[in-house]
Amino acid sequence: MESPITVSGVTGNAPATLKVGVNIVHTYIGDLKVDLIAPDGTVYTLHNRSGGSTDNISQIYTVNASSEAADGTWKLRVNDNARGDTGRIDSWNITF
């Protein structure tokens, strides 16, 4: 599943301390892989199947995206790598 955010009017590159707020409701976060996809397609892994049977992800990640143009469509991609548990992207945001 992917969720896009289109950024416009921000000149230059994203910062080395790009903040990505993620709120995912899920019954077993150890199944999830969460990636930030930059406008040029570069993948930044935020969460990779850790946390075991803990419910939900509610976290702010810091990403060094200084090589990426700020403007464009950024995506949050979530893969559920197992069956049986359910969830959804509740919300997410990026702060430049």
Global pTM value: 0.90
CA 76 from chain centre, in angstroms, equals: 4
In the predicted structure, residue 91 carries a pLDDT above the cut 80: yes
What CATH code is assigned to 2-95?
Answer: 2.60.120.260
More reliable by pLDDT, 28 or 79:
79
DSSP state of 31: G
* Residue 28 or residue 68, greater confidence: 68
